[in-house]
Chain A
Amino acid sequence: MASLEIKNVRKSFGSTEVLHGIDIAIEDGDFLVLVGPSGCGKSTLLNMIAGLDEITSGEIIIGDEKMNDRHPSKRDIAMVFQSYALYPNMTVEKNISFGLEMRKVDKAVRKQRVAEVSQMLQIEPLLKRKPGQLSGGQRQRVAMGRALVREPKIFLFDEPLSNLDAKLRVDMRTEIKKLHQRLGATIVYVTHDQIEAMTLATRIAIMKDGVLQQLGTPQEVYDQPVNLFVAGFMGSPSMNLLPVTLVKTDAGVAAEMKQASGESVHLPLQANASYERWIGKTVTLGIRPEAITDPGSAEQSNDLVTQIDCEVTVTEPTGADLFVFTALGGEEVVARMRSNSGATAGDKAPFSFNMDKAVLFDEESGKRI
């Protein structure tokens, strides 16, 4: 187990720079998820931590040791690949023990470690089989076993679940989380799936175009996104982003929206000194679907909860909830209501906005105010 520090790491292929100075530091036992759309450089960064890609500039430090010029096998890491990369000519047992064998671990010790790991992952009956005879989920387990058996300082996962079907993916997700809790291992995990990122991580690093957008706990990233990209990327359905004008009211600062009918709606905002200088200007209001509810499930005691009647355009029942779509200030807005809230398409329904959870962004730079 060890901490990981990535200091101003850059990567260029020829003259094009794909990673523009990444700084990330995590503690021993952290579960770091690198998330972002494809092409954002997250896999490249992982390969650089593993030593499979050269570092153009900057430093990668595992524990207290600089890893830049160290061979992958000497970094004390283990990696689970998206394709699992199981050696097709070896049995499961050989696959798992190969790394130990290469490190000249004693045969008896190897056998024992393989037994422990295979018991932990419940793959004992598969030990004598070849990878070609396994299902996707089984291969996934074997790949994890191969990483676990080495007891490395850091585990690296490169989109390990993306080749599994939806049901299995959720199951394996929980299992990886359990494993992390039990082993207390330091993990770096790459995915493009923001739900995986939220559920697994203790630290999320959101990347876009080779730039680190935000590093924080899942809750921080979700509640206080630093910019419009993070706000839109995390969460499903994604955050409602509406153009509003800030106005001063008796109670403080409020966001003003023009309805299609011409009347304007005021939504009171949290007291925040930095809002003052934006008064009279247009900004982007971000509010999560779950902060817009039916009045029955809103926190009525909160002063910042405002109720507005709007026309429902579409409803999407998910069973547990009802996603209700309406138009506000010319933009489509999604609200998350109880499934029995009774909203029906075409009718007017009351929407409760919990503005306590709202965030504001500068329209031009996309940064949070």
Chain B
Amino acid sequence: MSNIVQNSGVDSNRFWRVLIYTTLLVFALFYLLPLFVMLVTSFKSLDEIRQGNMMALPEVWTLEPWFKAWGSACIGLTCEGIHTYFWNTIKMVVPAVLIATILGALNGYVLTKWRFRGHRWVFGLMLFGCFIPFQIVLIPMSQVLGNLGIAGTTAGLVLVHVTYGIGFSTLFFRNYYEAFPTELVKSAMIDGAGFFGIFWRILLPSSGPIIVVTVIWLFTNIWNDFLFGASFNAGEGAPMMVALNNLVNSSTGVKEYNVDMAAAMIAALPTLFVYIVAGRYFVRGLMAGSVKG
């Protein structure tokens, strides 16, 4: 009797499992569909695209659209592809991410281990900064950049992104260091380590997971930014995302979907790469930070 009950229990369990996984699979495929279309389109020739079969695999695989997007596609009046803009973005993202991460770590360190009167307020205001919509600051920001003489430059964009980035990076590091034992800091203090000595030698080496989280977060956000790039640096030094938009909008008669798709893929690859390499640390780091604080 009990055997029968148990068996049917297993069976219904299996039934639900299959149902759940099938559903998940269908949704995952559906979600990946645009990526699939982008990829296959980017490997097709224009003739093949005109046949109208969007989902079909390319009959003849070609890398031509990728090369064109990278090196010779026309953006506005110059036809040199997006590669210069790609480097523009790198020149903006790397310093912005590094500076915002280091400042965030220092802020987190001070806000947890060197508390001062009103530290809660300072942290609260920084958090508040995270939630100010980008559009609101556009005009004041352009004024500030103009006054500083860095309007329309990569340095200006770095400043903008660092300003927006430290809110989140401070939040991440503060929560992480909140759970970090204060006795270690005290002990290092007695051992003779100074403010920066403790930071470099004790805290930072133990901050791996949260550094990964912060870097991924900032990298993705800054890399994908369009609004600030379009507003503050739309010319020669424009970042990738602005260039991509211009590329798609620069028509020379024929709409080259394959080149557009290839350019979009090139623009998305770095963030994709970062997620694949460090994605599991991302989740782990988020969890570690959220346990306490």
Contacts and interface: CB of A to CB of B under 8 A. Distances in A.
B183 A85 contact: yes
Interface in B36-78: none
Interface stretch (A97-105, A118-126, A191-199, A271-279): A97-105
Contact of A87 (B188, B189, B190, B192): B188
Contacts of A344: none
Contacts of A73: 189-193
B140 interface: no
Contacts of B201: 87, 98
Interface string B162-197: 000000000000000000010110111111110001
Chain A CB within 10 A, most for which of B181, B183, B206: B183
Nearest to A52: B186
A102 B202 contact: no
A83 interface: yes
Chain A interface mostly = loop
A360 to B, nearest CB: 44
Question: How big is chain B's contact interface, by range?
Answer: 10 to 19
A293 B193 CA distance: 57
Chain A CB within 10 A, most for which of B187, B201, B205: B187
Given A83-B181, A85-B181, A87-B184, A50 B206 contact: no
A256 B202 CA distance: 65
A50 B190 contact: yes
Contacts of A89: 202, 205-206
Contacts of A40: none
A83 B192 CA distance: 19
B206 A88 contact: yes
B191 A102 contact: yes
Interface string A167-205: 000000000000000000000000000000000000000
Given A87-B202, A89-B205, A81 B183 contact: yes
A81 B191 contact: no
Given A85-B184, A87-B184, A88-B206, A79 B190 contact: yes
Question: How big is chain A's contact interface, by range?
Answer: 20 to 34
A182 B102 CA distance: 47
B205 to A, nearest CB: 4
A83 B183 contact: yes
A167 to B, nearest CB: 25
Contacts of B187: 79, 81, 85, 87, 146
Nearest to A99: B191
A280 B201 CA distance: 70
B202 A77 contact: no
B198 to A, nearest CB: 10
Chain B interface mostly = helix
A118 to B, nearest CB: 17
Contacts of B206: 88-89
A148 interface: no
A88 B204 CA distance: 11
Contacts of B184: 85, 87-88
Contacts of B205: 89-90
B183 A72 contact: no
Interface in B102-135: none
Nearest to B181: A83
Interface in A43-102: 50-52, 71-73, 77-79, 81-83, 85, 87-90, 98-99, 102
Interface string B83-101: 0000000000000000000
Contacts of B188: 87, 98
Contacts of A98: 188, 191, 193, 201
Contacts of A78: 190
A280 B190 CA distance: 58
A102 B186 contact: no
A88 B201 CA distance: 11
A81 B186 CA distance: 9
B202 to A, nearest CB: 6
A290 to B, nearest CB: 39
Nearest to B183: A85
Contacts of A150: 191
Contacts of B197: 102
B16 to A, nearest CB: 41
A82 B187 CA distance: 11
Contacts of B189: 52, 71-73
B186 A85 contact: yes
A302 B180 CA distance: 61
A102 B192 CA distance: 6
B181 to A, nearest CB: 6
B212 to A, nearest CB: 16
B158 to A, nearest CB: 30
A103 B186 CA distance: 16
Contacts of B186: 50, 52, 72, 79, 81, 85
A51 B187 CA distance: 11
Chain A CB within 10 A, most for which of B190, B193, B202, B205: B190
A63 B191 CA distance: 20
A252 B184 CA distance: 61
Nearest to B184: A85
Interface string A284-296: 0000000000000
29 contacts: A50-B186, A52-B189, A52-B190, A71-B189, A72-B189, A72-B190, A73-B190, A73-B192, A73-B193, A78-B190, A79-B186, A79-B187, A79-B190, A81-B183, A81-B186, A81-B187, A83-B181, A85-B181, A85-B184, A85-B187, A87-B188, A98-B193, A98-B201, A99-B190, A99-B191, A102-B191, A102-B197, A146-B191, A150-B191
Interface of A: 50-52, 71-73, 77-79, 81-83, 85, 87-90, 98-99, 102-103, 146, 150
Given A73-B189, A87-B202, 6 more contacts: A52-B186, A73-B191, A81-B183, A83-B183, A85-B187, A98-B188
